[in-house]
Structure 1
Amino acid sequence: MTDTSTSASASSASVATAMIADINDSNFQELVMRNSQRFVVLVHFWSALNPQSLLANTLLEKLAHQFAGQFILAKINVEQQRALAQKLGVSDVPFYKLVKDGKMITENAGLLPEAAYRSLLTHNITQEPSEVLRLQATEAFAQGQFDQAVQLLGDAARENPNNFKIHLDLVAMYLHTDHLENAQNLFEKLPQVAQDDPKGKFLRGLLVFSGLVKDAPSIETLQARLAQQPNTHGNGNTSANQDDPEALYYLAGYLMVNAQYQNALQCLFKLFSVNRAYLDGAPQKLILTALDMLAADYPDLIIQSRRKFQSLLF
């Protein structure tokens, strides 16, 4: 976990970082009440014994990264901080309190959908100008206005050159418009902290799989190859087209770039089972790339997939 006593000051550094802190009775006043004069603080009460509060933790930590430098996620483990939780009037989890300017402005019990947490933050965070322009660019791109989106991102970058989310958005737009080389060149120029951001990791993986299918046979051709029945030869041996490593390799790439992540992972596991040494160990490298790429947004899928991969390794 990132302690807010250091990361809060990091918001003025070259890039913003997620501000997440574990709160206890000794640091509550400093990290929650005093910091709330500068940032919105979402205090989340949770317990390792409560699955819903664990899921809320996952959702809120994801948002802390997406809204990096804009709010503080202050986590209170009620099993470890019983006295503090009681003092704050909290007995059930998950539960949150939103603190701003030293005052609690709203609170709610129970697990909320990610969209509800996002809306809560959006309505209470005062966005800096580059973020406003970045969101306008996202909306323009969604409406098919690519040139306007790029112009808005340029304006946002001039407003705040240190907001790396602007450049990650541009990488994503290049990928969605098949400008793979532009996307790759821009991504490689980004600082390491941007590349290691959850969105950066996702885009790094997407670049890998987009490059993989750039000159691949069509997806229809690959599916047809894998759908063919095994051919029996006179010596009794069979050639199983369903185990065609090249077709599995390229098909996994297509599935990943088309957001069919579970099917893509199954395809990669099949390829690993068929020929783990294919292209100098490409199956294992691609599986690890996919797991890293999807870890932030698809935790349940990743847990299942890691278990599956472990079973294949031994």
Structure 2
Amino acid sequence: MKRVGILSSGGDAPGMNAAIRSVVRSSIFNNIEVEGIYYGYQGLIDGHIESLHIGSVGDIIQKGGTILYSSRSEEFKTDEGQEKAIQQLQKKDIEGLIVIGGDGSFKGAQKLTEKGVPCIGIPGTIDNDIPCTDFTIGFDTALNTVINAVDKIRDTATSHERIYVIEVMGRDAGDLALWAGVAAGAESILIPEYPPNMNEVIEKVKRGHQRGKRHSIILVAEGVGSAVDYADQIKHELNVETRVTVLGHTQRGGSPTAYDRVLAGRLGAFAVDLLMNGEKGRMVGIEQNRLVHHDINDALNLKNKFSKDLYNLSNQLSI
């Protein structure tokens, strides 16, 4: 293989730049040229493609977001759009494609692989909702962003003796809320994997008040509903002052943590190795700190992993 392409698609995640850097430098180390595709699959259709060199990825390892930018493309979902994309790859003599993103990005890689373009997917999303890998690029950074925010909110919750309901991202997965809740000592964690029992949440707040506790932190994953609605219910039941914080897109930004930088470096280089060895239609991941690769169809069809043990621990520690 003499030339590969790389693109990032869907929502950005801290560490994507570190993955781009790894792919570019690992490829060049192995005498493979790299073409950067800007603006995701729509950019591929439109031909926004430029050669990347060692200097192109200098001083980006610490930056959040993605230097290749990202967008969503309705056109690429059509056969006509996919054929336009393939024509652009052929025009640039790109023999393989590395895609950084979540399940939507992987669906695009799957379609191109089926049409003869070898593709490798690198999981990059703060939601940590991709099967076949313990962690996705960006999750650890977003997790630390949430923890930092919750720690600050707890300070003011303590001062004013209030209940704070904090909504975090994660789409249909509760990993971000669960891990942040355990790390920040939240009193209750509401996640899609376990339908919330508001009677238990309210009883837990009551028990806290009875032993002198005057504030509570309740984390809500966006996939389980609105923090505003839950806060209103708590206020109505307990007649206590509640406040809502929706952390929103602050969770996607910021300099990636050391873990995300190293993970991105490992996965990027591994993706290049797979293309060099003739693999296609695969996704790279990490399981028990070991690099693995799976059929990209598994990432799209298998149920996302979820730590029931961690959820049980959260309930045990928040009595």
Higher relative contact order (CA 8 A, sep 6+): 2
- Structure number with the higher strand fraction is 2
Greater helix proportion: 1
Larger radius of gyration: 1
TM exceeds 0.5?
A: no
